[in-house]
Structure formats: C-alpha cells, structure tokens
A and B are shown apart, each in its own frame.
Chain A
C-alpha cells in the first residue's frame, strides 16, 4: 500500500478500499521501521496525524465532498511553520520552538485534508546540498545509506524514496527541492517564484525561496502543486493570478509540437558520464514523443553560482538576525550581569552551525559599506543578465532542459571540508531561482557507473508551470514503458521495510 502513488492512494481512499487512518498508520509503521537508518524525520506527529486522518475518514463517511488528496499523508520540511508542532529548520537555535501559527502552505494542506505526518530533516536554515548541515545529524540516501540524499531538502526526498510518505513539501532557494529529487530518484518541483505563498516559510533568501511539491510521480506533484499554490495576501510577492493548469498538463503529458531547448552551458565538462548518458537518452525519448529539440545558449549562466553565493548570503545575514535569544529559541550565557549583546553573541555562536555562520559573515561583508556595489550590487546585475538569457532562450523554446545535477549522490562526509566543491552541486539549478521561473526534476534512470539515480531538469517561463508538467509527464511515461516499472521499484530494500 505504501508503495502506491499518492493518486492511487487517493483513489483507494475515495472508493473506500482503505481508510486514511489505516493508510496513515501504515506510513507511521514504515517510519518506525526504517527511519532509524534513513533519518528523514526530525519530528513525527503520530497523534496529530492519526487524528487528522480520523477527521478525514469521518467527513468522508458523512458524505462530505472532499478534495482529491484528502486523507493522503505528507511529510513537511521542517522549515515550514505548523501551529504547535516543533519547527527547528535543522538548527539548534530553534530547538524546542513551537510556532503559534500555521504557514499558508500548512493552512492549504489542512484545507485539503492532507495528513501531515511530521517534519523532515534539512540542512540548517536550508543552507546546503547534502543535509549534512543539519544540527540533528545527516539524512541517509535510501539508495545507499552511506550517501547523501541531497539538500537542503534531503529529509523530504529521502522520506519519499523510503516509502515513509507519498508526498512531501520542500523549499528551493538554489535547488533544494530539485537536487534531492535527482539524487533520490523522486520528482521535485520548484514553482514560479510567487506561485506558492512564502508566509510561514522560515526565510533563507527571500528573493529566491520558493516552496513546492515533492512526490514519486509527476501527476502526484501536480496534484500537490494545485493544493498548495495560489495567491496569498499575506505574502506581498505572491502572484495574484490563477494557478497554472498543472494537473491537466500532467494528465495529458503531451509534448507534440513543443520546442525543447537544451541549454548548452549546463552540460559537458564537469558532468558525470552516466548523467550525460541518461540526459541524451531522455532527449531522444522526448523527440520520439513529438517534441522538437533545439539548442539554446545562456552565456551568463556561468556567473550564476557566484551571484547566488552573494545574494543568498546577503539576504540570509539579514533574515537570520532575528535569531537573537530575546523572544524565542535558544538563549545562552544569560548569567548575572551578562548583557543582551553578549547573550546574543554567545547564543548565535552556539546556536548556528558552521555553514550558516560562514554565509552570514559572507553576506555581512557583501552588504557592508564600501563593498556593496562590488559584491551585492554586481550580483544583482548578474541576475538581470541571467533573466535576459532566459528570456532569449524562451523565444526559441517552450521549455529548457538540462541534467539536474552534475553528479549522482556523493558519499556522506566527502565534501564537507570543501565548501566550493559543495556549492558546485547547484550549478544547474541556481539559474532558475535567479530568474524566478519554474523548474522540475524527475528521474531519468540510474548512472551506469554507480547505479545511482540521475535527475532530468525541465525549466519553464514565469507562470507557465504547466509546460514542465507536460514535458515531465511525457518523459515519465516514455521511461516507464521502457523500464516496465517505476525506477523506485528497483531501490534496494531497507532493513525492516514493509
């Protein structure tokens, strides 16, 4: 039952074949069985999940009209506030904090009757590409427990791959939904910036952060996308327009006549052989399905990583200033005679991990007087150039594609001492955030050399998110008919797994 897709589960719930309580319990059992090895969850809300499930079952029994995903369980990235449920963002500084309010995403999930199982592990404040930066220990990739599950949303992606949840919420600032999806063989979508409300998403980099759906199929992602997206007056950067018809697109999966642009700069040197092979194969399948493959160039993408590592740290240095031990969270050094300033300094020393501190200091520098123009200012100009590159490319193609990441999952600990090498993981995903457009990663098979999953990235223009679902669903169908079974059916069994 837990290996079904969310839409299959939804059908079984609708037909009465299974209750939400039973389905939720099955997932809680799976979590109990495997999460000691995977460590996808930071908090499991057993009681809350079962009571939400029971409420959905009762409504269904009373004949109330329910939304499509009502009763289906979901794992929530620990960066989203949920009233009364611990929200740590993977940081010591928020240990034990229980928000007194729901994020808009959680409000929407609750409105749709989606059952929230618990909170998933992540790199501290979403800063990282491996979930090794969590203050609560790393998450392990269910494909190979010695490897990273990607990051920052490694917990959400691993929970899907380990069948601990059929749906999950992620957030993506530079690839934190797509890169974990790629290395765990799951589907992850970063909607257009402003498509999903950021209210209650603990900010890392406000102008880049975007919440989105994580799932095991393109259709499941689309269903979740529709459930959480839409205008929110509490977020001034939310787009006041109808949600793109992503479910319709995912159901049709039609690419006939579409122009698919291959971004020349996001391939080649630095990309693992197996990654390139799977990418070429996917392009052939899409061409066979009726798409026209064209090549596009985005010459300024090579500056995207540098600009990202100025903009995101700058914004984070300001966003994370509120963690100061005064109103909530950790407080260290509050001894007799200690000043507020020294308590702030000590708390932030102890409460933040190394990567977070590194970025706060970098951002503080990039914004400081005398350096602003050279760093933050220049990075914003690069942002303009990247957007212009996308605009030109979208004149030639309906969507753009690339491998999601240069490599498959690396070993835990392999890159922790080399920040620059770690940052390179996001080289293909970052441009999407810089321009605020949509991006999706879906599995395109495993690399021949290591047997680990490879992601295929699709990028669509602002508020044309439906296009990436069309292409994603088409490719997914072609791959499924080629393989005969979903990629995740080949994942090695975890000890104790059902």
Chain B
C-alpha cells in the first residue's frame, strides 16, 4: 500500500506552486492513499519487456520551414496581462537566482 503523508503532499504542492491549507493537505493525503492504491495496479502488467507508448500515433520528423510569420502586436500580446509597464509584463519581484 502506497501512501503520501501530509508532508509529502506539502512538498508536491510546493513543486506545483499551489498554496494549501493544513486541512487541505491532510484531506488530500487521505485521498491519495486510496487513489494511489487504485492507480498502482498499472505495475501488475508493466513488465520490462513492454515498451512505453508516449504518443498514440507513430509519427516522426514533423518540422516546419524556418520562415518568419507575423507576430502578435504588442497590444495583443499584453492584452491579458494583469499588469504592464513600458510594453513589458510587470510581475512581482523575483526571488532566487539571477
């Protein structure tokens, strides 16, 4: 039986950038115990001899020519921006590396 602790869920929520209340972390952790049991069934038949399918179609080498096509206008590009300044997207201060 696989399970995820509250702290495991908190770590995943951090990776996924979702703030979560303690209550939500606990309830998700409970749900995952059930869900993971159900989905872990895939391991029953996934032998080493079976190849993985990441894509339903056997397509290869789909390319486009290196040709410039018109971009959006800056007004269109920025039309959904929660905040903008000097024709740029304005975002809160970025912490971390340069």
> Do any CB atoms of chain A lie under 8 A from CB atoms of chain B in the complex?
yes
Please provide the 6 A-B residue pairs with the shortest distance between their CB atoms, ordered closest to farther: A436-B56, A328-B80, A378-B46, A380-B52, A331-B82, A349-B19
State which of A364, A365, A382, A420 has its C-beta within 8 Å of the C-beta of B38: A420
Main SS of the interface on chain B? loop
Tally of chain A residues near chain B (CB < 8 A): 70
Whether B81 and A327, one on each chain, are in contact in the complex, defined by CB atoms closer than 8 angstroms, is yes
Docked complex Cα distance between A435 and B76 (Å): 38
With A194-B57, A327-B80 known as contacts, the answer to whether A381 contacts B12 (CB < 8 A) is: no
In the complex, A387 has a CB within 8 A of chain B: yes
Task: Mark out the residues of chain B between 47 and 96 whose CB falls within 8 Å of any chain A CB in the assembled complex.
Answer: 47, 50-57, 59, 62, 64, 72, 76-77, 79-83, 89, 91-96
- The answer to whether A339 and B94 touch across the interface, beta carbons within 8 angstroms, is yes
Q: Beyond A100-B72, A343-B91, A345-B17, list 17 extra A-B contacts (CB 8 Å).
A: A237-B57, A326-B89, A331-B83, A334-B82, A334-B92, A338-B93, A341-B17, A341-B96, A343-B92, A361-B12, A365-B32, A377-B46, A378-B42, A379-B42, A383-B52, A387-B56, A435-B56
Q: How far is the CA of A384 from the CA of B56 in the complex (A)?
A: 9
A97 at the B interface (CB under 8 A):
yes
Partner of B35, one of A100, A348, A362: A362
Which A-chain residue is minimally distant from B81 (CB atoms)?
A327
Q: Which residues of B contact A (CB under 8 A)?
A: 4, 8-9, 12-13, 15-20, 24, 28, 31-32, 34-35, 38-47, 50-57, 59, 62, 64, 72, 76-77, 79-83, 89, 91-96
CA separation between A470 and B96, bound complex, in Å?
A: 59
A307 CB → nearest B CB, Å:
5
7 pairs, CB–CB < 8 Å, chain A vs chain B: A237-B57, A239-B59, A358-B31, A360-B16, A361-B32, A382-B46, A420-B38
CA distance A328 to B53 in the complex (A): 34
State the CA gap A357–B51 with chains docked (Å).
30
Determine whether A495 belongs to the interface, using a CB cutoff of 8 Å to chain B: no
Q: How far apart are A215's CB and chain B's nearest CB, in angstroms?
A: 25
User: In the assembly, what is the distance between CA of A321 and CA of B95, in Å?
Assistant: 18
Given contacts A98-B80, A334-B83, contact A317 B55 (CB under 8 A): no
Q: Write out the residue numbers on chain A whose beta carbons fall within 8 Å of the beta carbon of B94.
A: 339-341
Contact A436 B57 (CB under 8 A): yes
Nearest-neighbour CB distance to chain A for B66, whole angstroms, equals 14
Q: In the bound complex, how far is the Cα of B91 from the Cα of A325, in angstroms?
A: 8
In the complex the two chains form, is A352's CB within 8 Å of B18's CB? yes
Report the bound CA distance from A420 to B20 in whole Å: 22
Known interface pairs A375-B39, A385-B50, A419-B31; A345-B19 also in contact (CB < 8 Å): yes
